[in-house]
Amino acid sequence: MEKLVIRGGTKLKGTVIVEGAKNAALPIIAATLLCKSISIIENIPEVEDVRVLLDAMIELGVKVKKTKPNTLEIDTRSIIKNIVDYEDITRIRASYYLLGSLLGRNNEAQVPLPGGCSIGTRPIDQHIKGFEALGAKVNIEHGMIKAKTKKLKASNIYLDVASVGATINVMFAAVLAEGHTVIENPAKEPHIVDVANFLNSMGADVKGAGTDIIKINGVKELHGAEYMIIPDQIEAGTYMIAAAITGGDVTVENLIPKHMEAISAKLKEMGILVEEFDESIRVHIKEPLKNTHVKTLPYPGFPTDMQPQVTALLAIADGTSIMTEGVFENRFLYTDELNRMGANIKVEGNSAIITGVSRLSGAEVTATDLRAGAALVLAGLAAEGETIVNHVDYIDRGYVRMEDKLKALGADIFRVRSEAHQAKLHIV
């Protein structure tokens, strides 16, 4: 198991470049199955979740070629089956996008029940509700979700939860369904809009993504397209917190300020200086961090994927803060690890009461999921002494070379790759 070793206390300074959005890239890559053609997708983040999804698609018969850094040519002209049995696919949540795209392409799909971070039960009832409304028969047996239909037909679908995955999957099944589909109470995250824009570039007719109602006119067929993924709002936010938690001065480049509004607003409430430019944000500190209260909500609310990172920051702010998790039911597991570093966090139901401490202290901790892992690294950057973060594979699922980017900002951080490597470290 790989580890990151961090020696805290350095104020980060400099510029960091944001990658393409993981949670846009995953559905957009899966969406290429909706056409029998070649698509060119740019700004794909080279993270583990993307690699796992691509491996599963290659096993279906998709041809993938890397034409330049972060750019893939995806050839979906012929696939050999509609059953995804690639054993690694259960490690990621985004496997369910293969359900919607294969169903949209061939009127049938079989995909293992999704995996993903342990932050709650992660049901897929809204995905199934959408597929059934569009005329598919869906059942779950032996850990596989099976969806089949003679012909997808348009429908009106009200999502009981503004689910990102369900919104996208219903769009996939509806774009080729004859008639006019309406999705009410859809998710409105930036990556929903990005997926809709990609589908329209393939010849689909999707209107209203990012608003409270999405309207889709089914078309006969889709064609390949060239597309560039939007910047990753959560990676950008994570590096903004890295600047703030170390009392540094960092410019985060290649982002869309509008997507960062909720995060920037909370940092400003904490007395942090946040300067917005066309495609970048500068974060620096002039005064001690102030406490504040945060509630995570679907976009445009404060993003749940930034919850652990901001909690780590609030752990060293003056006064008491309250973090309320409004999206998932169990996303505070990592607070025990922060408390091992000297934080003072008490979880009550779906809220965490965070009493600020003057300094965290380095300790050996373990990531419990992707964003929790990022939060523990951020805490290590601010802590006195050495922090070891175990289970770095979680972090690699959603961050590109995090230690290299932090090192370039002045952080004292390195990765321990194997037991042998660790033995060498003791010699050093």
The residues annotated as belonging to the active site are 117
C-alpha to C-alpha distance for 276 and 252, rounded to whole angstroms: 10
Residue 282 exposed, middle or buried by CB count within 10 Å (0-12, 13-18, 19+):
middle
Report in angstroms how near the CB of residue 223 gets to ligand EPZ at its nearest. 25
**Given the complex with ligand EPZ, which of 227 and 328 has the nearer CB atom?**
328
Burial 289-319 (b: 16+ CB within 10 A, else e): bebbebbbbbbeebbbbbbbbbbbbbbbbee
CB count in 10 Å sphere of residue 150: 10
Nearest to 97 by CA among 134, 47, 54, 137: 54
Q: Which amino acid is at 238?
A: T
Report in angstroms how near the CB of residue 326 gets to ligand EPZ at its nearest. 9
C-alpha to C-alpha distance for 306 and 222, rounded to whole angstroms: 35
Chain residue at closest Cβ approach to ligand EPZ: 165
**Given the complex with ligand EPZ, which of 240 and 383 has the nearer CB atom?**
240
Q: What angle do CA 258, 292, 325 make, to 5 degrees?
A: 75
C-alpha to C-alpha distance for 102 and 136, rounded to whole angstroms: 12
Report in angstroms how near the CB of residue 92 gets to ligand EPZ at its nearest. 7
C-alpha to C-alpha distance for 25 and 400, rounded to whole angstroms: 14
Residue 394 has which token pair?
Answer: 């979680």
Q: Which residues bind ligand EPZ (CB under 6 A)?
A: 22-23, 26, 93-94, 117, 120-127, 161, 163-166, 187, 189, 304-305, 327-328, 370-371, 398
**Given the complex with ligand EPZ, which of 125 and 221 has the nearer CB atom?**
125
**Given the complex with ligand EPZ, which of 125 and 205 has the nearer CB atom?**
125
**Given the complex with ligand EPZ, which of 36 and 401 has the nearer CB atom?**
401
Residue pair 57/27 in contact (Cβ under 8 Å)? The answer is: no
Report in angstroms how near the CB of residue 370 gets to ligand EPZ at its nearest. 5
Strand order in the sheet with 63-68: 63-68, 71-75, 38-42, 226-228
- Beta bridge partner(s), residue 42: 228
**Given the complex with ligand EPZ, which of 157 and 216 has the nearer CB atom?**
157
Report in angstroms how near the CB of residue 234 gets to ligand EPZ at its nearest. 6
C-alpha to C-alpha distance for 212 and 133, rounded to whole angstroms: 19
Report in angstroms how near the CB of residue 111 gets to ligand EPZ at its nearest. 14
Residue 12 exposed, middle or buried by CB count within 10 Å (0-12, 13-18, 19+):
buried
Report in angstroms how near the CB of residue 282 gets to ligand EPZ at its nearest. 25
**Given the complex with ligand EPZ, which of 110 and 296 has the nearer CB atom?**
296
